[in-house]
Every structure is written in structure tokens, then in C-alpha cells.
Amino acid sequence: MTSKNESLFEQSQKVIPGGVNSPVRAFRSVGGTPLFFQRGQGAYVWDADGKKYTDYVGSWGPMIVGHCHPQVVKAVQDAAAQGLGFGAPTASELELANLLCKILPSLEMVRLVSSGTEATMSAIRLARGFTGRSRIVKFEGCYHGHSDGLLVKAGSGALTFGQPSSSGVPAEIAALTTVLDYNDAAGLEKTFADMGKEIAAVIVEPVAGNMNLVAPKREFLDALRNLCTKHGAVLILDEVMTGFRVSLQGAQGYYGIKPDLVTLGKVMGGGLPAAAFGGRRDIMNCLAPLGAVYQAGTLSGNPVAVAAGLTTLQLVQAPGFYDNLAKLAKQLTEGLTAAAKKHNIDFCAQSVGGMFGLYFSKTLPTSYAEVMKCDKEAFNRFFHAMLDAGHYLAPSAFEAGFVSAAHTEADIAATVAAADKIFSVWQ
């Protein structure tokens, strides 16, 4: 008997390329049929066949207060009843902009957009307009959305010019992107020494969360800040994932690093399409209609999305919110690590605030190359066994995981117990 998930996937493949509207959903990495979800509540989601899962994906990050938080749902309903959109300014956009600038001291001005891709793409254009330079620097394994110049990762050499990692990206555009190794402060210093005058911006995930999770080294963060300042390049912290996730003030607050521009998304939309970029006033003043750098959006600052984001950002300011989130993530990673150790499995895990990484490896990876050495087949087996047991992890060994404030210690303990059972018969 085919399940509803299987039937929906079969039908979807006829009208949607690969049956999905974003490739990571397709289970290509882990194999099998992607789940079609019908609803979520708190820490749980239910698939089209009615099976319940404890959710560690959280819509890839946004659901930090859990699914269908009553206050978020109410705010969205109230906003919708007032009008779904105007394409004109509203007071709620001002409220959200003020709140973002209040929470993140590095934001002197902010512009709302609808996706993380838009935020990073616009921040790059702005940095180029501000500096009058063309080259950008990114790090292998960091994802900054799917605009042309950012869909580039290097070959193995540290200082190679960019090779597009997608067909359809002209080599001429990729050539303007220099790709370096994450956490390689010396490589960054050499690049600046060689071509510092050409570099408009360095863009980085301050905790890399799109190649599993790779934590930044202190010397790397310091090099980013110091070298950008020294050479007049714009430091863009891409906090689309880490913003309001690793701490209230994101990774910039967690590690104490001040960016020139910040990109935000995911949590700040509370599950709806809202994102932003912002930072130094002198840079933001270059944006149209004040300045010559053009950027626009029919749906930017959409009132329903803004309501979801505003309410979510009010909820995460509750005292102890991030201590609790970090404690839950730690309980999960320490529990899984202990279970694997008990059964002699090469596995380790770590968390930063409310995000975590799981690795079938003896040691924590610090670069893309090290992440690639983790045992992907072991992860895929683990993923499917956990899925069967009702625990939904990201369907790829190369994604970070997320907990929400709706998870309880009992939820995490149940997930750890399920993993322990899987590891006990692991061969």
C-alpha cells in the first residue's frame, strides 16, 4: 500500500521539479521519500499519513518558539484581517525596524526584504556601491542564498578564483568571488595582502550552519574584523541562521564581533517570509531612494509577515529564553554523545545556543574539508532509524539542527533514548 506521503510525492514530481520547491527538502542526500507535513504544534509535526515526529528542523530555523504559538497565530490573524498588503509603508514595519535596531547595536538602519537570499544579495550590492570595488570573499561551505555571485565554492586550493557551484552562473561572475577555507585566518590575511584594494566585502556565517555546524575560531573572527577595517572592506555577518538563534544578539553578541552589515531572516520572520539587512548608517545611506544603490520589493515589509516576526521577537526576549534553549540543545548533544560512546560509535556533537551539529566522526570538524570526512552513510542510516522512531532531523548530514522553546527536557530525553536504542544494535 502506498502511503499518502508517497502518493503526494509521486504527483508532485509531475508538476514541480523533483517534487519540491527547495532542493534540500527532497531527501536526495539521505534517500527515501520526503515527508509532506500537514500540521505542527509546539515541538511536534505530523506528516500526511498522520505520523507524529519531534521536530529538530523547525522549518530550517524559524520556529524558535515552536509551531503555532498562540500569540504568533493571533498576531498573524489580526494583521490579515486588517489587510494582506498595501505596497506602502505601515506602522508595524517601523516597529519591527526599531526592535531590530534595539536588539542588535550594530544596526543603525535596516531595510526589510522577504528572504535571506534577497538580504545577502542586496548587502553585497550595497557593499560594492559603497566601496566602489567589485571583489567579494566568501568561505567554502558557507551558504548565503542562491544569488549568482554567492553560489560559488572553491576547488581544494585556498586561493583559487571562484568556480560556480551551479550551472547557469556565468564564470565571469563567479570570477569576482574569492573562496577561502573557513577558520583560516592566515589565508584571509594573505588574500588581503594580495588584493586588499579590490575587495568590497567579506561575507561569512559567523557560525557555519549550512555544512552541518562548524564553530568559528576566535582568531578567525578577530582576523575578519581587523583585516576588513584595515583594508576598507565591508564585513557582512550573514546571521540569517544565527540571528536570534545562538543568542538574542545572534553570533555577533555571542562572540562579541561588530559587523559593518548584517543579514537576517529565518527567526525574524517567525515562519513567514520576512528578512532584513542593515548596519552602519553611512553604508545604508547609499541605498535608494537616498543613494545610488538600487534595491526594492513589492512584498517587502508585508504586514502579515511583519506581525509574525514582531511577535516572535517579542517572545524571545522573555527572561531566560536563550539559557533554556541552550540548555535543551546541550542536553541533546551531550545525551547523544554519551549514548554513542556507550556503544563505541565514532560520533560527536556540539551546540551553540539553540543550534546544534551531529557528526559521525571522532572529532569536531573545523572546516568544510573536515566536514566532508564525516561518515555520511552512517548519518543516513541514523537519520532513517530516527525518522522511523518519530524524531525528525534535517534530511542531510550537512545541515545544522534546531531546538525550540516548545521542546521539553522530556522530549529531548525521549530522542536520546531512541538514539541509544538505535546505537545499541549498530553494526
| 73 to 14, 68, 362: CA distances (angstroms) | 33, 6, 43
Chain position carrying cell 566601496:
131
Among residues 182, 266, 368, 411, which one is catalytic? 266
Is residue 240 a contact point for ligand PLP (CB under 6 A)?
yes
Binding segment toward ligand PLP, per CB under 6 A, in 10-18, 25-33, 204-212, 387-395: 204-212
Is residue 120 a contact point for ligand PLP (CB under 6 A)?
yes
Is residue 205 a contact point for ligand PLP (CB under 6 A)?
yes
Among residues 238, 255, 322, 359, which one is catalytic? 238
Among 265, 303, 309, 357, binds ligand PLP (CB under 6 A): 265
Binding segment toward ligand PLP, per CB under 6 A, in 26-34, 238-246, 281-289, 310-318: 238-246
Among 36, 143, 220, 368, binds ligand PLP (CB under 6 A): 143
266 is catalytic: yes
Angle between helices 321-342 and 409-424 (to 10 degrees): 20
Angle between helices 185-195 and 218-231 (to 10 degrees): 10
DSSP label at 392? E
Is residue 241 a contact point for ligand PLP (CB under 6 A)?
yes
Please, which residues have CB within 8 angstroms of residue 171's CB and are 6 or more apart in sequence?
Answer: 164
Minimum Å gap between C-beta 241 and ligand PLP is: 3
143 is catalytic: yes
For residue 263, what are the β-bridge partners?
238, 277
**Residue 241 backbone dihedrals phi, psi, to 5 degrees:** -90, -45
Minimum Å gap between C-beta 279 and ligand PLP is: 16
Which string of DSSP letters, residue by residue, matches 220-251? HHHHHHHHHHHHT-EEEEE-TTTTTTTSTTHH
Query: Residues 88 to 117: which contact ligand PLP by CB under 6 A?
Result: 115-117
Cβ atoms of residues 72 and 313 within 8 Å: no
> Quick one: 115 or 177, whose CB is closer to ligand PLP?
115
For residue 302 the three cell numbers come to 508585508
Among 140, 184, 198, 238, binds ligand PLP (CB under 6 A): 238
Binding segment toward ligand PLP, per CB under 6 A, in 221-229, 233-241, 309-317, 406-414: 233-241
**Residue 327 backbone dihedrals phi, psi, to 5 degrees:** -65, -40
Binding segment toward ligand PLP, per CB under 6 A, in 124-132, 234-242, 307-315, 387-395: 234-242
> Quick one: 202 or 418, whose CB is closer to ligand PLP?
202
- Can you list the alpha helix ranges (DSSP code H) found in 108-255? 116-131, 171-174, 185-195, 218-231, 250-255
Is residue 210 a contact point for ligand PLP (CB under 6 A)?
yes
Q: How many residues bind ligand PLP (CB under 6 A)?
A: 15
CA 19 from centroid of its chain's CA atoms: 23
Binding segment toward ligand PLP, per CB under 6 A, in 73-81, 203-211, 299-307, 317-325: 203-211
Count of Cβ atoms closer than 10 Å to residue 158 Cβ: 17
Q: Could you list the active site residues? A: 143, 238, 266
Task: Give the binding site for ligand PLP (CB under 6 A).
Answer: 115-117, 120, 143-145, 205, 209-210, 238, 240-241, 265, 275
